[in-house]
Amino acid sequence: MVQKLAAFLLVASVCAAKFPAEEYRARRANLRKDLKGVVVLFAHTEGRDQIYRVTPEPNFYYLTGWTEPGARLLITPAREILFLPHHNERLEHYEGHRASAEDKDAKTVTGFEEVLAIEKFESELDAALANYENLYALLGQPTTEKLRATHPFREISDGAPLVTKLRVKKSPAELTAIQHATDVSMEAHRAVWKQMVPGIGEYQLGATFERVFLDRGCDGPAYSTIVGSGPNSTVLHYSENQRRMDRGELVVMDAAAECDSYASDITRTVPVGGKFSARQREIYSIVLGAQKAAIAALKPGARLSGSGDTLTKVAKDYMDAHGKDMFGEGLGKYMLHGIGHQVGIDVHDPNIEGPLEAGMVVTIEPGIYLDEERIGVRIEDVVLVTDHGAQVLSAALAKEPDEIEKATSR
């Protein structure tokens, strides 16, 4: 299967993913295959006079591809129904045309064979619950609490694991979208390297990242762009991006695009002025070696973190074996986070307990953060788990120290 997935990546750099309705139908069919009950999911709701972008609820979006607010989804082993609000002429003057169940083309537009008006949701849910005991919804959401109020004698189980089980293994279309986001992200990193000179502001480089993302037609940044220079390089999720950088400092740049609702996640650490100091190069080379060791060990059956022989342990053991801090102690303890996470619709896509499987996309991102030395280094790539190992989707972006110096020398 993964050979077919990898083949799709060959065209990813020239073809952004536009998912057909069949993609979402297949996902719903996979959910229904082992379903023993009723799944209810709600799209995001719209605030009053809303003027900012709202991200669709990811589980709802994964199963429907639907981005308009106020919709509801009901799935049983035998049926799948999308419920849509009615047209609101005043609202549509502000927000643009919206689909509704009464539209003649509702089935074609939504990709559902059953599209009903929103007021029919309660009666259809009651009919479904007459045939199935189990009810699944996303716990902790206000909409689910309303379900509890209307069905006080029905236990509601968490529906997220049912969808997560599907989300963790990416389809060819999803891989194409992730590769496209990764290609745009790599282009943005290269653009920033060309711009970087001593005295430039972190915010200026952050602006270049986002300009490239938007210029290439992507949704925007997949997460808050991190440009941490000098002492800020040791702050894992630094995002103020207000400092001006000096020659000889390191800059950790953790930035990636979201395109067609799928994320990438890339980090590179580069020297201002294009030259590592001896100590900076030493730490950088150790982090890079730890990443290479983890990627070499990545295959189906491996685990990112936890107890035992995990990829996090592989990276920390490499750090301990190849360098010391200023007190003569191993460097593994300065990796303050796990080796990586799942990537997909969310930059931190949901995880499942257990080993990695072919078709999953994860990050491998070791880092060493030495506050006393004002040295922070993180190197992060997006990696596809294949049948027998790993394929680095962001391999085209330079990370060898000589390559980094050449690309950033000014």
Domain residue spans in the chain?
34-167, 172-408
Residues 116-144: b if buried by 16+ CB within 10 A, e if exposed = beeeebeebbeebbeebeebbbbeeeebb
Over the chain (410 residues), the average pLDDT of each successive run of 10 is 46 50 97 97 80 82 96 98 95 89 96 98 97 96 92 94 97 98 98 97 98 98 98 96 97 98 98 98 98 98 94 98 97 98 97 93 98 98 97 98 95
Q: Is 203 helix (H, G, I), strand (E, B) or coil?
A: helix
> Per-residue pLDDT tens for 92-121?
888 889 999 999 999 999 999 999 999 999
Asked if residues 360 and 350 have their Cβ atoms less than 8 Å apart, the reply is no
- Class of the CATH domain delimited by 172-408: alpha beta
Residue 377: CB atoms within 10 A of its CB come to 25
pLDDT number for residue 277: 98
- The yes-or-no answer to whether 34-167 and 172-408 have a common fold is no
pLDDT number for residue 49: 62
Take residue 41 and report the two structure tokens written for it. 């999911």
Its pTM surpasses 0.75: yes
User: Nearest Cα to 111, choosing from 174, 51, 23?
Assistant: 23
Domain 34-167 sits in CATH at 3.40.350.10
pLDDT number for residue 14: 34
The interaxial angle of helices 311-322 and 278-297, nearest 10 deg, is 150
Q: What are phi and psi of 319, to 5 degrees?
A: -60, -45
pLDDT number for residue 11: 38
Query: Which distant-in-sequence residues (6+ apart) come within 8 Å of 42 by Cβ?
Result: 57, 60, 71, 72, 73, 137, 138, 141, 143
pLDDT number for residue 16: 34
Any bridge partners for residue 369, and if so which? 376
pLDDT number for residue 8: 42
